[in-house]
Every structure is written in structure tokens, then in C-alpha cells.
Amino acid sequence: MNILFEPMSNTTAQYNEVIGECKAIFIHKTRDYGTSWRVYRPISVVDQIFIKAKRIRTIQENKKQLVGDSIQSEFMGILNYAVIGLMQLQLAGDPEENLAAERVTELYDDQVNRARSLMAQKNHDYGEAWRDMSQESFTDLILAKLMRIRQILANDGQTIISEGIDANYLDIFNYAAFALILLKEGKH
């Protein structure tokens, strides 16, 4: 047995599990609310993620929580809003606001596949360094990625040498997934 492959196999299973939980919530909310998120402009998606990440950071810093929503549920929301951001980029120019749940499922799965592929490539190159990171670092990295997206939006979506908005959403997605995995393991 290849010992180097075993942790990645475990990571893939854990990753798929947390994504499955996030997707189930997303699809249930789609059935409840429809695709109301289609009205979000790019900055609104960024701000939705920002609100969740800022709340996590405030709880981390104050070591006190007054609202019942857990940090886990906030990371799940961050992950799902990152998917919304990616889907909105994919659907740019498509005026349809009401998408069928089946279509949303396909779009969601497309973005998850992109994120999973990126995760596997980066895990290979970085040796799963994320397993030794703090929850605070994931929160800070998400906030930094949001600042980058805001700047790209201020630059009318143009970058000179940097990655685009989609790459930042994919990283946010994966940071949230990693935080969720570590929360499940009891490490955070």
C-alpha cells in the first residue's frame, strides 16, 4: 500500500462528506427559496461571505458567542456562498433568475468538481499543510481573499498578473471545507 496516498484518500472522503452536507443544505434552501440568490450582484456575494467570516473572527477574538448559529454553520454558509459566487460568474449574462432545482444541482456539482480538483492538486504540492493550520488562519485567509475580490471588482474585473475572481472563490471554498473537516475531527 502506498502510504503517501492514504492520507489523501482519507482527505478526499472527508472532503466529500462535508461538501455533501453543504450541498444538502443548499439544495433544500433552493427548494424553500428558489434561486433568489440570482439577484445578487458580485459585491453582494462578497459581502454575504464577509458577514459570515467577520462573525467567526469576532467570536474567535472575543471568545464569546451570543447568537446560536455555530461557527460550523458559518463555514458551511461561506462554502455555499462561494459556490453562489462561482455559479454567478458562470451564469453571467444569463438573465434567467428562476432556475430549476435540477439545474442548480448540476451547476453546484460543476463548481464542486472544480474545487475538488484544485484541492487535490494543491494538497499534492503543499503536503496537506492545512491540517496544521488554525481556524483563525482559515478565517483570515478567507477575509484576505474577499479583499482581493473587492479590489478586482473595483478594477472592473481586470487583473494584471493575478488570479481572477473565480480562483479566489475556489480558495475560499476549499478553506471553508478544510475548516469544516478539522471541526469534525475536533481539532478546532
89-122 pLDDT, tens digit per residue, is 999 999 999 999 999 999 999 999 999 999 999 9
How many structural domains is the chain composed of?
Answer: 1
- The 10s digit of each residue's pLDDT in 24-61 is 999 999 999 999 999 999 999 999 999 999 999 999 99
Closest of 28, 42, 13 to residue 154, by C-alpha = 42
Closest of 180, 172, 163 to residue 142, by C-alpha = 172
Amino acid 145: pLDDT: 98
Amino acid 187: pLDDT: 87
Question: Can you state the angle between helices 135-154 and 71-90, rounded to 10 degrees?
Answer: 30
- The 10s digit of each residue's pLDDT in 65-83 is 898 889 999 999 999 999 9
User: H helices within 94-156, ranges in order?
Assistant: 101-126, 135-154
**Structural domain that includes position 104:** 5-184
Task: Quickly tell me which residue has 444538502 as its cell.
Answer: 24
